[in-house]
Amino acid sequence: MDLFDTTRKEILAREAPLANRMRPKTIEDVVGQEHILGKDKLLYRSIKADRISSLIFYGPPGTGKTTLAQVIANTTKADFREMNATCAGKKDMEDAVKHAQDILGMNGRRTILFIDEIHRFNKGQQDYLLPFVENGTIILIGATTENPYFEVNRALISRSMVLELKPLDREDIITILKHAISDADNGLGKEKISIDDDALVFLADMCNGDARSALNALEIAFLTTDRDADGSIHIDVDVASSCIQKRILGYDKDGDNHYDTISAFIKSMRGSDPDATVYYLARMLYAGEDVKFIARRIMICASEDVSNADPQAIIIATAASQAVERIGMPEARIILAQAAIYVACAPKSNSSITAIDAAMNSVKNEPMGQIPPYLKDAHYSGAKELGRGLTYKYPHNYPDHYVEQQYLPDAVKDRKFYEPSDSGYEKSIKRLFERIGKR
């Protein structure tokens, strides 16, 4: 380390953003994540005993993934190295492994290698680490905002403990903010600063469980608020609201939260809850989700979960899909809301999906048999000579436009694939079936 490195580190330590300065140094300083850091939990005991195995921290931004890695670095007797997958290359990985091998060979010390944003490494880069994790040359700690079961090689997953960090709750964020205001060493404790309780609550709610965002907003409020006559700074809810112009959503259109939110949206429509339906719709729209994707999911739900209990549902959903493509946002939000609410409030039946799945299963696993000759095409030359269509009964020639006739092949002639429910329009279908003796 030369003089410039020392000076640079001193400047960064002194002028780093508040969120970085307030990172906990010990496990006791960490706020939240009790489900993995409670004193009876494995991770807490492992850190205290300095018996860390390979770990993958997974969770939204600002929940403490990097902080936990640095706590481990401050606690462990093992050599600790870190890199960020957004800028590290193969040479960096080779150097880290070579260093780990040298340290292990010289004095028996293990090396903990922390890789932030590990999901940014491609499959080849992740595979390179595998043998060194396997033989214990390095203890891997990876951090990712993406679901590791989608983005990290299964071989690395199987050799690591995956720990999910949750968004911090309101009280945790308020605790962190209060500590930042009172901490004279790393926070704003040397300043004459006060903050109203409702401003604290506002910041905690608006940051959506992201401690870094809350601390950044607090710092902006401190830096941009004029001092009173006595030199003090007072932060009220109006100041706080100006520092977070828009709620930060933990939503990645290619990631885990995308699938969780669309799943909740669909299940809310299926569950006939229009309030939850429009809430999850709003979350997706607010985060910039593709309106065409949302419209497709409404169409699927209209057929899969409403079916013929309300045949209008698929018509409205399809019309909405066409309309949002022509109109676009912001007006598309109204069209999507109308269609989603209609599907949510419609009577429900999954009879169509049950019917087609049963029929597909029959076609796949049972003898199919021959189509009855009278149902076969009789419009080509020679069809009658082959007996095609000769005894077909045209339903419109009979009362009520119905005549008893076998339509299924002999092999499955007694199968009942479609069973109409007692919901909505399907009540009428069921009564018709009973009247003509089909059920």
Q: Which residues of the chain fall short of a pLDDT of 50?
A: 1
For residue 209, being part of any structural domain is answered with yes
For 282, the token pair is 């709003």
For residue 26, being part of any structural domain is answered with no
The domain that contains 385 carries what CATH number?
A: 1.10.3710.10
pLDDT of residue 360: 93
Compute the chain's Rg from CA coordinates.
32
Same domain, 309 and 269: yes
- Provide CB contacts within 8 A for 24, sequence distance 6+: 30, 31, 67, 71
User: How many domains does the chain divide into?
Assistant: 4
The domain that contains 211 carries what CATH number?
A: 1.10.8.60
For residue 18, being part of any structural domain is answered with no
Which helix (H) or strand (E) segment is 102 a member of? helix 90-107
Distances (CA, A) of 309 to 73, 76, 394, 426, 436: 60, 63, 28, 5, 20
pLDDT of residue 209: 87
Same domain, 237 and 298: no
Coil/strand/helix, residue 126: helix
For residue 7, being part of any structural domain is answered with no
pLDDT of residue 182: 93
For 337, counting Cβ atoms within 10 Å of its Cβ (0-12 exposed, 13-18 middle, 19+ buried), the class is middle
Q: Largest alpha-carbon pair distance within the chain? A: 108
What is the rounded CA–CA span in Å between residue 373 and residue 389? 6
Contact 186, 22 (CB under 8 A): yes
Same domain, 133 and 231: no
pLDDT of residue 289: 86
Query: Which of 138, 164, 190 is the last residue in one of the domains?
Result: 164
- Provide CB contacts within 8 A for 159, sequence distance 6+: 54, 130, 133, 134, 140
For residue 4, being part of any structural domain is answered with no
- Provide CB contacts within 8 A for 310, sequence distance 6+: 346, 347, 424, 425
pLDDT of residue 164: 92
pLDDT of residue 207: 85
Same domain, 100 and 214: no
What is the rounded CA–CA span in Å between residue 113 and residue 218? 32
Same domain, 375 and 299: no
The domain that contains 148 carries what CATH number?
A: 3.40.50.300
What is the rounded CA–CA span in Å between residue 240 and residue 196? 10
For residue 185, being part of any structural domain is answered with yes
Same domain, 236 and 284: no
Same domain, 237 and 303: no
The domain that contains 297 carries what CATH number?
A: 1.20.272.10
Same domain, 175 and 157: no
pLDDT of residue 298: 97
What is the rounded CA–CA span in Å between residue 143 and residue 85? 10
For residue 3, being part of any structural domain is answered with no
pLDDT of residue 277: 95
pTM (predicted TM-score): 0.66
* Residue 398 CA neighbour count, 13 Å, CB half: 10
Query: Which of 118, 148, 164 is the last residue in one of the domains?
Result: 164
Coil/strand/helix, residue 161: strand
Same domain, 337 and 402: no
Report the sign of the C-alpha dihedral through residues 203, 205, 209, 210, in that order. negative
pLDDT of residue 9: 60
Angle, vertex CA 239, rays to CA 203 and CA 211, nearest 5: 25
Domain residue limits at 274? 256-345
Coil/strand/helix, residue 287: coil
Same domain, 55 and 129: yes
